[in-house]
């Protein structure tokens, strides 16, 4: 269905697990991206970019992010020539700033607690490299909620490919229809659709700088807590 909400949200029964995105869903990591990307651009003698421009390229992994912010003013061909150097620079800078300015979105802790109270198994699937995702969740007190964590470099493919979502289903020994995906972007929704999982989106995230209102999903909820309240035994 379209994400335009003109009717009451669906109540989901039979869900036994949830797969939750990280950037733009659990944590507002935009300030960290802003610092690291512009530090990388400074290394290449490029002018800084505004946050809104950078966030258009967040969500599909570090390689896509770096290529996007280079191609924005260099063009795709020249961006490709600098990709390896730029990616190494970006990862170095991001390792320093990771979590320094990030904040937990409202309703996240309460939502995770509510999901756990419903005895749902929880996984976090992000396109952020695992070496950044794990400490970021830990320093914000969120890692303990998750039984499974996959980063963008953990498996052979990343979202919007369904591979990581299907791997979680196998890990939990559940059918995709029993595992709900919760994220903030078309990236999350496409991965869920391809995996056969129901999917809810949060409107406060990044979604490549576009509204989630027209993304194919099963509903848009204000907070993670609101998502948890739609799940029944």
Task: Kindly list the catalytic residues.
Answer: 21
* 45-to-29, 42, 48, 58 alpha-carbon distances in Å: 25, 5, 9, 22
The length of the chain is 233
Closest CA to 150 of 166, 133, 138: 133
Closest CA to 221 of 196, 188, 195: 188
User: Are residues 127 and 159 in contact, defined by beta-carbon separation less than 8 angstroms?
Assistant: yes
SS3 10: coil
User: Are residues 132 and 98 in contact, defined by beta-carbon separation less than 8 angstroms?
Assistant: yes
**Angle between the 76-97 and 62-74 helix axes, to the nearest 10 degrees?**
130
User: Are residues 159 and 187 in contact, defined by beta-carbon separation less than 8 angstroms?
Assistant: yes
């Amino acid at each position: 269905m379209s994400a335009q909400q003109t009717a009451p949200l669906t109540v989901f029964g039979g869900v036994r697990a949830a797969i939750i995105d990280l950037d733009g869903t659990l944590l507002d990591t935009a300030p960290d991206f802003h610092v690291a990307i512009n530090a990388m651009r400074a290394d290449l003698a490029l002018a800084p970019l505004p946050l809104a421009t950078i966030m258009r390229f967040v969500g599909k992994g570090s390689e896509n992010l770096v290529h996007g912010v280079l191609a924005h003013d260099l063009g795709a061909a020249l961006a490709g020539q600098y990709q390896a150097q730029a990616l190494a620079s970006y990862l170095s800078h991001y390792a320093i700033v990771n979590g320094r300015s990030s904040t937990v979105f409202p309703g996240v802790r309460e939502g995770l607690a509510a999901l756990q109270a419903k005895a749902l198994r929880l996984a976090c699937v992000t396109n952020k490299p695992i070496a950044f995702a794990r400490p970021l969740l830990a320093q914000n007190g969120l890692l303990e909620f998750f039984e499974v964590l996959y980063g963008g470099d953990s498996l052979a493919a990343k979202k919007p490919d369904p591979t990581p979502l299907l791997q979680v289903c196998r890990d939990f020994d559940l059918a995709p229809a029993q595992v709900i995906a919760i994220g903030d972007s078309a990236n999350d929704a496409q991965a869920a659709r391809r995996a056969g999982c129901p999917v809810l989106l949060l409107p406060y995230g990044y979604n490549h700088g576009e509204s989630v209102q027209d993304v194919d999903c099963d509903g848009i909820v204000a907070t993670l807590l609101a998502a948890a309240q739609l799940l029944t035994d």
